[in-house]
Amino acid sequence: MTRQGETDFRTRLQHWLPKVVLSPSLAMVLVFVYGFILFTIYLSFTDSRILPSYGWVGLENYSKLWRLSHWTTSLTNLGIYAFLYITICTALGLALAIFLDQKIRGEGALRPIYLYPMALSFIVTGTAWKWFLDPGIGIEHTMHLWGWESFRFGWIKDRDFAIYTLVIAAVWQTSGFVMAMFLAGLRGIDSEIMKAAQIDGASNFNLYRRIVIPLLRPAFLSAFVILAHLAIKSYDLVIALTGGGPGRATELPATFMYSYTFTRNQMGIGASSAVIMLMTIAAIMVPYLYAELRERK
Amino acid sequence: MMSAAQTQSVRTGHVTRMFIYLFLLLSALFYLLPFFIMLTNSVKPLGEITGGNMMSLPEVFTLEPWKAAWSSAQVGVEPTGLRPYFWNSIRMVVPAVFISTILGALNGYVLTKWRFRFDTILFGLMLFSCFIPFQIVLIPMARILGILGLAGSTYGLILVHVVYGIGFSTLYFRNYYAAFPTELVRAAQIDGARFFQIFRRIMLPSSGPIIVVCVIWQFTNIWNDFLFGASFASGSGAPMTVALNNLVQSSTGVKEYNVHFAGAILAALPTLLVYIVAGRYFVRGLMAGSVKG
Amino acid sequence: MGFLDIRNVTKSYGRVEVLHRVDISVEEGEFLVLVGPSGCGKSTLLNMIAGLEDISSGDIAINGRVVNGVHPSNRNIAMVFQSYALYPNMTVGQNITFGLEMHGVPRPEREKAMKEVAELLQIGQLLDRKPGQLSGGQRQRVAMGRALVRNPDVFLFDEPLSNLDAKLRVNMRTEIKKLHEKLKTTIVYVTHDQIEAMTLSTRIAVMYQGHVQQLGAPKEIYDTPANLFVATFMGSPAMNIIPAQVVMQDDRPHARVTTRDGSHAMLPFSQANLAAWDGRDILLGIRPEAITDPDGADRKSDNIVALGNHIGLTEPAGSDTFVTMTLGGRDTIARMRADVSVSPGDRFEFAVNMDKAIAFDPGTEDRIGP
């Protein structure tokens, strides 16, 4: 009776095949994502200008970056924009979901209407809202024609208010998605819990406040994570809607990075701003992904 | 998922219901209005927009803005219309979607049915790559594409979109195959099917829904991308979104709003069409991309 | 050396050993059942025979060939899964012949083999349907057909009946038994259901916590369980385990047990070797059917003892009536004829068949020999 060497070649090949199949994807991700991240981090410590160069300057780019009013303005803008965007999207999405969940006639027609902007490019959204908000031909002009002569809506041209137009367009694009997430969460709640609460005498308001909304916690968390990372990555919409202006009123870190790297030829500073963006997103995404992947083991 | 029969039975009063319907209808108006305005103004002569009311229906119906946007409008320096860029996008999207979906399916298959040590960590690394701010890879990617001779070309963009699309496509297939009974794979092994035979004969024939979800997601994402297109393929190789932005932002001459609107709708048309035809799968993809479990 | 040899096989995941030195030798044509509670290692062992899991140490040989490291499809085995594992995208016919196709069997031969199996299992009319259109029992037959068509050396069954409802399960059990008697194939069958184990097997391996607790013929396992675990796992209702003390009386070892009113009853053992345990505590094991009403006692036994005790609870089960009493501080179940007239609280003369009684060492929990 033979003992060793029984493992035939094909069986051994089968053993390695899964790893072989996975390796091209893995290699691509390792090089193009993690390798590139390391490279950019390295660049952020160098004196790169128009092209990468490898003179080590330590933290100089970071200290320059934080002294630039352009950068701090971008961060402030991002703070305002992200806060309002996340809050309004969540509130509107939750309201739409709860209302749609009340045995609404025509729900099947309303849902796709709320959600379709998600299928559009931010460039299209930006183009549509750019003209709709333009005082010359948009909503303000229309109101004047309809006889409301004193109506003013020139936020998009106003340094103090332009950032809010960004919020409006972004909310328009993604709140339907948040609605869908909450609606799925609502439909996943055990209806017997709802019945029990009603038998316990909870009013509708209390039913939602005390029972339903706490049960939607996972949906809140997912919505927050998705919206936060979208906010930090926002680039296309700014370009299409305001181009960062008027002045720097709607500059965000994403547009800052792009202009410093590719038009102002300050690659070292651009790289350091990208690193800060990555760190911010990682702080939100890594714990979330970690928890998600752990749960399912 | 969302079309499931409603089970909740919250009782609401008359006044409350009136308020709810009013809120829902006003919201619907909010979502529809911008697109409605784009549509109506894209078939008006320019004079009717600048001199008239944006909200009113066209007095003179014309398809000229559409023709101009498609074939003769000034995009960048050339009066080519959006047509060549539309085909750029098609040439970019089709292979990128195809490749990333195939790779995602294989990865999902390996990660669920041929598990090995550290596979969850590897998947985590792939998944995180979906969420990085792409600014962090712009500089080295531009260099590499230059070195590979792919800068400014459609092939370069295909490569970029495959690389950054793998995370999501792997996520979709992994979650789908995780629910696929492992006993079937074992039965096939005993029956003598090997790695690729099991994939082709057992897994793929049951993967219809998730393939649709993945293709739609990748298609929408890649079609709508602007950042990579603007960074690596401006000029004649640009995709549709970049061309649209060039059309709208071009500062020369009179602003032809009607042409801009027509162009915007042209850029939105493919993804919108997919949404209308297969909205159910689109929503499934969105959900799977956010709430994993 | 047997037809299927499991020699010193262990399985570990990292440092955790889940299967400890299993040694089983199965003869050709035997029906071996691996039985035990979930997590006992029985499915792991089956998967190792199939080649679906690696062997950490030891050997598995089928028909004289060591198969460690051989691909599952080259071990000449077939397997029926708990979920049936029918390929949802293929018809019943394609499901049955897929294995032959993968092994390069030409189409005419495949068709012929499929027809034979379909006839044997009476599933001819289902061949063009998809698994989704079949009932549970039909899927079960198709899964068996897929295994049979390969004509393997060894059939492996992984809890094949656990997804069926109670009535169908009994029917399919009978069919599997008939099939085995007709085809005389070697079968290894995993189940957690001790009745399946008893009815189907020619030999049983009772497993618990990664150890084979006992390997033997069903009657051997039932009558002389090796330890407390086997005794209580096999049989329903479970064997009564009563704390008792060995006392010598008339030169014969007796079990002294406490009845409900606190008095002692003396039950004479049939095994003389228990004299060595004089004065020590033991656990007395008596199956419910060995405690009856006097008329229902086994007439062939010459060691029927009368035991007076109060009746606790009566549970008429149709064919039998189960009567509970307190013995040695434990609930003890007696199995009586259905028409026996007893009521709770009454004092009753139980007839205990001490020929069937066994004793366990309370320390090691092993049965006290021989």
Q: Could you tell me if residue C285 is inside a domain?
A: yes
- Strand C65-66 to strand C57-62: parallel, antiparallel, or no bridges (unpaired)? antiparallel
Q: Which of C64, C66, C70 sits opposite A11 (nearest CB)?
A: C70
CB B32 within 8 A of CB A121: no
Q: Could you tell me if residue C86 is inside a domain?
A: yes
> Domain ends where: C203, C233, C263?
C233
Q: C342 in helix, strand or coil? A: coil
Residues C36 and C71 in one domain: yes
Residues C247 and C215 in one domain: no
Kindly list the residues from chain B whose CB atom is less than 8 angstroms away from the CB atom of residue A15.
none
Please give the residue that has the higher pLDDT: either A146 or B11.
Answer: A146
Residues C224 and C268 in one domain: no
- Res B238: pLDDT: 87
Q: Could you tell me if residue C180 is inside a domain?
A: yes
How high is the mean pLDDT of chain A?
Answer: 84
Beta-carbon separation of C65 and A2 below 8 A: yes
Residue with tokens 């995993």: C190
List, for chain C, all residue ranges whose pLDDT scores fall below the cut of 70.
1, 370
Residue B270: its H or E element: helix B257-290
Q: How many CA atoms lie within 13 A of C274 on its CB side?
A: 29
Residue B212, both tokens: 């649709």
- Strand C186-191 to strand C203-208: parallel, antiparallel, or no bridges (unpaired)? unpaired
- Res B3: pLDDT: 39
Beta-carbon separation of A187 and B4 below 8 A: yes
Residue A7 confidence class, pLDDT cut points 50, 70, 90: low
Say which CATH number the domain at C295 has.
2.40.50.140
Q: Which of residues 57-96 of B touch A (CB under 8 A)?
A: none
Kindly list the residues from chain B whose CB atom is less than 8 angstroms away from the CB atom of residue A198.
9-11
Q: Burial letters for C169-186: b for 16+ Cβ neighbours within 10 Å, e otherwise?
A: beebbebbeebbeeeebb
Q: Locate all alpha helices (DSSP H) within C192-238, ordered by sequence.
A: 194-200, 218-223, 228-233
Amino acid at the residue B121: I
CB A229 within 8 A of CB A277: no
- Based on the structure, what is the number of domains in chain B? 2
Q: Could you tell me if residue C44 is inside a domain?
A: yes
Residues C46 and C70 in one domain: yes
Residue B28, both tokens: 């619907």
Beta-carbon separation of C98 and B190 below 8 A: no
Q: The domain containing residue C147 runs over which residues?
A: 4-233
Other chains touching C, judged by 3 or more CB pairs under 8 Å: A, B
Q: Check residue B68 and report its DSSP letter.
A: I
Q: Could you tell me if residue B229 is inside a domain?
A: yes
Give me the long-range contacts of A71-79 (CB less than 8 A, separation at least 24). A71/A253, A71/A256, A71/A273, A73/A248, A73/A251, A74/A248, A74/A251, A74/A252, A74/A253, A74/A255, A74/A256, A75/A253, A77/A163, A77/A249, A77/A250, A77/A251, A77/A252, A78/A231, A78/A232, A78/A252, A78/A253
Residues B96 and B224 in one domain: yes
Residues C26 and C59 in one domain: yes
Chain B residue at shortest CA distance from C76: B190
Amino acid at the residue C328: G
Q: Could you tell me if residue C93 is inside a domain?
A: yes
- All domains of chain A in start order, with CATH: 1-43 (no CATH), 61-295 (1.10.3720.10)
Chain B residue at shortest CA distance from C85: B184
Residues B124 and B28 in one domain: no
Beta-carbon separation of A6 and C61 below 8 A: no
Q: Burial letters for C295-321: b for 16+ Cβ neighbours within 10 Å, e otherwise?
A: ebbeeebeebbebebebbebeeeeebb
Give the torsion sign (CA, B249, B253, B254, B256).
negative
Kindly list the residues from chain A whose CB atom is less than 8 angstroms away from the CB atom of residue C65.
1-2
Kindly list the residues from chain B whose CB atom is less than 8 angstroms away from the CB atom of residue A222.
290-291
- Strand C4-13 to strand C57-62: parallel, antiparallel, or no bridges (unpaired)? antiparallel
Distances (CA, A) of A145 to A138, A153, A156, B258, C8: 11, 14, 20, 19, 93
> Domain ends where: B23, B45, B68?
B68
Residue A111 confidence class, pLDDT cut points 50, 70, 90: confident
Residues C271 and C189 in one domain: no
Residues C168 and C303 in one domain: no
Q: Check residue C27 and report its DSSP letter.
A: -
Evaluate the omega torsion of the peptide bond into residue C370 and state whether it is cis, within 30 degrees of 0: yes
CB atoms near residue A97 (< 10 Å): 23
Q: Which of A25, A110, A236 sits opposite B227 (nearest CB)?
A: A236
Rg of chain A in Å (alpha carbons): 25
Q: Which of C74, C83, C89 sits opposite B183 (nearest CB)?
A: C83
pLDDT higher than threshold 90 for residue B287: no
Of A117, A88, A109, A70, nearest to A258 by C-alpha is A70
Residue C296: its H or E element: none
Min distance A55 CA to chain B CA atoms (Å): 17
Q: How many angstroms separate the CA atoms of C111 and A128, rounded? A: 64
Strands (E), chain B: none
CB A126 within 8 A of CB A241: yes
Q: The domain containing residue B153 runs over which residues?
A: 83-290
Kindly list the residues from chain B whose CB atom is less than 8 angstroms away from the CB atom of residue C98.
188, 191, 193, 201
Instruction: For residue range C152-172, list pLDDT tens digits in order.
Output: 899 999 998 988 888 889 988
- Strand C211-216 to strand C203-208: parallel, antiparallel, or no bridges (unpaired)? antiparallel
- Res A1: pLDDT: 38
Q: Could you tell me if residue C367 is inside a domain?
A: no
Q: Could you tell me if residue C195 is inside a domain?
A: yes
Sheet (strand C330-337) strand order: C313-316, C320-327, C330-337
pLDDT higher than threshold 90 for residue B95: yes
Q: Could you tell me if residue C340 is inside a domain?
A: yes
Q: Could you tell me if residue B74 is inside a domain?
A: no
Residues B64 and B88 in one domain: no
Interface test with B, best of C43, C76, C82, C89 (most B CBs within 10 A): C89
Kindly list the residues from chain B whose CB atom is less than 8 angstroms away from the CB atom of residue A168.
none
> Domain ends where: C206, C233, C260?
C233
Q: Quote the Cα angle for A9-A13-A17, to 5°.
A: 175
Residue C360, both tokens: 């366990």
- Res A52: pLDDT: 78
Kindly list the residues from chain A whose CB atom is less than 8 angstroms away from the CB atom of residue C74.
8, 11
Residue B29, both tokens: 């108006």
Of B267, B283, B264, nearest to B85 by C-alpha is B267
Can you tell me the mean pLDDT for B95-102? 95
Give me the long-range contacts of B159-162 (CB less than 8 A, separation at least 24). B160/B228, B160/B232, B161/B92, B161/B96, B161/B100, B161/B218, B161/B222, B161/B225, B161/B228, B162/A28, B162/B96, B162/B99, B162/B100, B162/B103
Q: What residues of chain A have any CB closer than 8 angstroms to a CB in chain C?
A: 1-3, 6-8, 10-11, 14
Beta-carbon separation of C102 and B183 below 8 A: no
Min distance B136 CA to chain A CA atoms (Å): 5
Residues B48 and B111 in one domain: no
Residues C195 and C303 in one domain: no
Residues C224 and C346 in one domain: no
CB A83 within 8 A of CB A92: no
Q: C345 in helix, strand or coil? A: coil
Kindly list the residues from chain A whose CB atom is less than 8 angstroms away from the CB atom of residue B131.
229, 281, 285, 289
What are C314's strand-pairing partners? C323
Beta-carbon separation of B187 and C79 below 8 A: yes
Of B293, B97, B113, B108, nearest to A25 by C-alpha is B108
Residues B204 and B181 in one domain: yes
Q: Could you tell me if residue B1 is inside a domain?
A: no
Q: Does C98 touch chain B (CB under 8 A)?
A: yes
Instruction: For residue range C253-277, list pLDDT tens digits in order.
Output: 999 998 888 888 899 998 888 888 8
- Res B291: pLDDT: 44
Residues B21 and B113 in one domain: no
Min distance B143 CA to chain A CA atoms (Å): 9
Residues C208 and C187 in one domain: yes
